[in-house]
Chains A and B, each alone.
Chain A
Amino acid sequence: KAGVTQTPRYLIKTRGQQVTLSCSPISGHRSVSWYQQTPGQGLQFLFEYFSETQRNKGNFPGRFSGRQFSNSRSEMNVSTLELGDSALYLCASSLRSGPYEQYFGPGTRLTVT
């Protein structure tokens, strides 16, 4: 079974721009969560989507948003990028919402200049 895939793997953007990251969960998994990983703040929860509905949201500004499609694929969007948004963005998929076992993708490395 294929794992979680994330595209693109690397991205360089300029301050003020917006970016969209994509995540394809493991086949059959209906829950997708997003995390931001930085050396200073560690792994921080952004949001979870289950059956196309946002189930939970972390403590991030409204510039961070996401959505989930009927095939469980998910996208997250960051608008008006700031230098502090530079991070590894990780997507995790789970069979159900729960808590339940989550399996992470390799991440998208976003650099904001």
Chain B
Amino acid sequence: GENVEQHPSTLSVQEGDSAVIKCTYSDSASNYFPWYKQELGKGPQLIIDIRSNVGEKKDQRIAVTLNKTAKHFSLHITETQPEDSAVYFCAASTNTGNQFYFGTGTSLTVIP
């Protein structure tokens, strides 16, 4: 099955700086890559996603890039704010349905 690796496991940045989280996947058939934000006591919240026919997608301060050849994708958060502090998960999925394979998570702390 698919194997998704995520780095770093923890990340601290100063407010206003950028944060980058990287994921790699193993199955070349994976074609959908969502990112989730999970706050304490809550379920994961979809923040952005990208499909394999697109190299980059942006939504305000959040962007995701995908390199199919290298099998890696990254989340970029610019102008970080304290409310961005949370655990972020990447995931990958193929065309066989909604079975998502998740990375191990990155705990992001934004220091005011």
Contacts and interface: CB of A to CB of B under 8 A. Distances in A.
Question: Which of A48, A98, A107 has the largest count of B CB atoms less than 10 A from its CB?
Answer: A98
Given A43-B89, A97-B97, A101-B49, A4 B102 contact: no
Interface stretch (B18-26, B30-38, B55-63, B69-77): B30-38
A58 interface: yes
Contacts of B100: 33, 35, 43, 45, 99, 102
A97 B99 CA distance: 9
Nearest to B91: A43
Interface in A76-104: 90, 92, 94, 97-104
B104 to A, nearest CB: 5
Question: Which of B41, B44, B102 has the largest count of A CB atoms less than 10 A from its CB?
Answer: B44
B45 A104 contact: yes
B98 A42 contact: no
Interface residues of A, number: 28
Contacts of B101: 45
Q: Is the interface of A mostly helix, strand, loop or mixed?
A: strand
B37 to A, nearest CB: 11
Contacts of B49: 101
Interface residues of B, number: 27
B34 A101 contact: yes
Interface in A8-56: 31, 33, 35, 42-45, 48, 50, 55-56
B94 interface: yes
A98 B95 CA distance: 6
Given A42-B105, A99-B93, A101-B49, A56 B32 contact: no
Given A33-B100, A59-B1, A100-B98, 9 more contacts: A43-B89, A43-B91, A45-B100, A92-B98, A97-B97, A99-B97, A99-B100, A102-B34, A104-B43
Interface of A: 4, 31, 33, 35, 42-45, 48, 50, 55-56, 58-59, 90, 92, 94, 97-107
